[in-house]
A and B are shown apart, each in its own frame.
Chain A
Amino acid sequence: MSLQVSKEGDVVVIEIEGQLIVSNRQELKQRVLDEAEGGARKIVVDFARTGYIDSAGLGVLVSLAKRLRELGGDIRLANLNDDLQTLFELTKLDTLFQISDTRERALESF
């Protein structure tokens, strides 16, 4: 997995390339927490180039959303493919996150 991080105004966009699973989830967690430490409160995670996500990866997203919301911010998700959408629906995490079909819409949602 690799992370591409960019800024769109006051929103930090993190694009995940590859799988988000138990062996690499800490990398995403640390990166987002570092951004939050630096003052970021609005995060978009872009899954356009993401493969599959396991329960550990989902868990990290849940944990990061809680942390950002405690800080008065939020984490929004974009570009889930059909498989990932199914995964979020199965776990009902589609009710916990605001999910947009494009990065632009996720940016506009803040």
Chain B
Amino acid sequence: MAVRGTLDLRIPSDVGQIKPVVDLVVRRCAELSFDRRQLSLNLPVALTEALSNAILRGNREDASKQVRIRAVFSEREVVVEVEDEGAGFDLEACIEDPTTADALEREDGRGLFLMRALMDHVERVDGERNVVRLTLRRAGHAA
């Protein structure tokens, strides 16, 4: 798999920083001719969720903490890792379904669901750091 580019940046724990990062990643994927819907829906929404989780839940908007974003772009896929300085959580244990009748009127609880629905793969990276890895394969490139 030929790597066509990488990204490594850090942002403060401020939700106002999310959109510029999302725009940057989407722009890089657009250069690699990702599908229109992947660029307008899957990638921006899922990445916004991951960054939002890192800032609000991981770092609890602590201005002294940062979120690190690393991405590897290839013809076949984009892999984005979002790292925060929080205690981490068990991603696999978070299986709440926000589409049930009971949950439908809740204001929260859709973030992880959307990440999973819109990405090909969402996983927590084992290790000391709290890292969530998102993988989106370019349309037409099967696993």
Contact = CB atoms under 8 A, between A and B. Distances in A.
B74 interface: no
Given A55-B108, A62-B106, A87 B18 contact: no
Interface string A30-74: 000000000000000000000111111011101100100000000
A23 B108 CA distance: 15
A21 B19 contact: yes
Interface residues of B, number: 26
Contact of B98 (A22, A63, A91): A91
A52 B45 contact: yes
B107 A22 contact: no
Interface stretch (B36-44, B123-131, B134-142): B36-44
Most buried by A among B16, B45, B49, B106: B45
A1 B87 CA distance: 32
A53 B48 CA distance: 9
Contact of A22 (B15, B37, B40, B104): B15
Contact of B45 (A54, A59, A93): A54
Contact of A90 (B52, B104, B109, B114): B114
A22 B52 contact: yes
B45 A53 contact: yes
B11 interface: no
Contact of A55 (B44, B49, B99): B49
Contact of B104 (A21, A87, A93): A93
Interface string A66-98: 100000000000000011001100111101100
Nearest to B26: A52
A52 B56 contact: no
A102 interface: no
B84 to A, nearest CB: 15
A80 B106 CA distance: 21
14 contacts: A22-B18, A23-B16, A23-B18, A53-B45, A54-B114, A55-B110, A55-B111, A59-B110, A62-B106, A82-B37, A83-B37, A86-B41, A92-B104, A93-B104
Given A54-B111, A83-B40, 11 more contacts: A19-B19, A19-B44, A22-B18, A22-B56, A23-B15, A51-B44, A52-B45, A55-B52, A91-B98, A91-B110, A93-B104
Interface of A: 19, 21-23, 51-56, 58-60, 62-63, 66, 82-83, 86-87, 90-93, 95-96
